[in-house]
Amino acid sequence: MGVQMYNTLTKQKETFRPIEEGKVNMYVCGPTVYNYIHIGNARPAVVFDMIRRYLIYRGYDVQYVTNFTDVDDKIINAAQEAGEDVFALAEKFIDKFFEDTSALGVKRADIHPRVTETMDDIIAFIEALIEKGYAYESGGDVYFKTKSFPDYGKLSGQSTDDLQAGARIEVGEQKQDPLDFSLWKRAKEDEVSWDSPWGYGRPGWHIECSAMVKKYLGDTIDIHAGGQDLAFPHHENEVAQSEALTGQQMANYWLHNGYIQIDNEKMSKSLGNFVLVNELIREHDPQVIRFFILQAHYRHPLNFNSELVEASGAGLSRIRNFLENVRHRHRTSADFADGTEWLKKIQTFKGRFIHEMDDDFNSANAITVLFDFVKEGNLYLQEPHTSKEVLQEVMNTFEEWGEVLGLSFFAEEELLSEDIEDYIEQRVKAREHKNFQEADRIRDLLKEKGIVLEDTPQGTRWKRVSSL
């Protein structure tokens, strides 16, 4: 059946069929860079990074584009309040975005276009809309004629009749219709601006993404994604202006992630209950935060609190401890047990993982598969004889799954020097001969060298620590 995904445009799951066989063009709306990102911004960055990774795992060549809105009212206001240059402030928070998302295991996009670098394309796009009769200039502003696009509302399910009832023309606006939205804003005094056929100004929010999608990915793309809050009006307006210009469907599949809730309340700056990522990753392993985000289906609401994050940390530790035992058993065991049945079992687990991820990228159920594997794998490790081939395949499988989910399941292994290896071997022999005084002496000696030993039912494990 292949990959199934819920398409906001059609309100149902559909089998994914790319425009070009084996290739995927994917655009994800990025942040407006005027502050540090919060956990709500982190969720789309993480989940669509996971979806990108999974599509690559399934054999697709993915061209992935995420933009930066680096000029906007919010940025201008933040710069004024801070007494900083608008462009310097935007650059600072682009750097902070990369720092925070990199910590969360998010790979950089293939292209990260910026509004300030796409200005000529945006202006040309608006000019073309005016020429085709879909937009008009009014007092230095340019607006899109919403009612000139008959399919307006098809993405979000909004109708122009319903929208008309609550629509108003704000003071200073010179619209022909309350539903019309801004494509170009006339510059205020001493405000950053660009020259255009309509005078100095800057783009409206929605036109930016339409211009970037067209420039970097074409008239019709495979997947357009973003947060649920963007479906209307941002994505709806993108659809209208892009399809009005090109006469082509803008995107074949629209994906939207669910909201973040803080202690079961919708996160919002007005409530003051938002959590900044750069503060969060000082308190928690960033990998735990990513694991927490992926333990819910991307379209469902996600409730955040410290207790839930800590529970995710315990779950991730469970997987890591299992794999550390597997690695130790593989390194120290000389067993050559028949692994045929377990190799078949591993393939079954792999099939289950793919089945869950194929079903609209259900990372929550996929992670359940991992826990089921760990449960059975721990029983296997209790057997007196294990197969090195099986143990290696277990590690290989979790490396594959870790790459898909963007999670590091294995602690970085450092090689012991030959001397320390000899000490560990001597201690094992001392314990076998019940010479516990000698075993303790070697343990204390290794501790001085920064090597901590742990005796487990599977044998002696070690870890290197930077300070004792």
Annotated binding-site residue numbers = 29, 209, 234, 238, 269
| CA pair distance 333, 392, nearest whole angstrom | 12
In this structure, are strands 221-227 and 23-28 parallel, antiparallel, or unpaired? parallel
Residue pair 303/312 in contact by the 8 Å Cβ criterion: no
Question: Can you read off the two tokens belonging to residue 396?
Answer: 């290989």
Annotated binding site for ATP: 269
- Return the sign of the alpha-carbon dihedral for residues 25, 115, 28, 204: negative
Q: Which residues lie closer than 8 Å to 56 by C-beta, 6 or more apart?
A: 62
What Å distances lie between residue 425 and 415, 432, 450, 454, CA to CA?
15, 11, 17, 14
- Return the sign of the alpha-carbon dihedral for residues 183, 188, 192, 195: positive
Q: Which residues lie closer than 8 Å to 237 by C-beta, 6 or more apart?
A: 144, 181, 206
| CA pair distance 252, 5, nearest whole angstrom | 11
Residue pair 234/206 in contact by the 8 Å Cβ criterion: yes
**Listed residue (406, 410, 392, 390) closest to 324, CA to CA:** 410
For 413, left (φ over 0), alpha (ψ -120 to 50), or beta?
beta
Question: Can you read off the two tokens belonging to residue 141?
Answer: 């502003």
| CA pair distance 150, 105, nearest whole angstrom | 42
Annotated binding site for Zn(2+): 29, 209, 234, 238
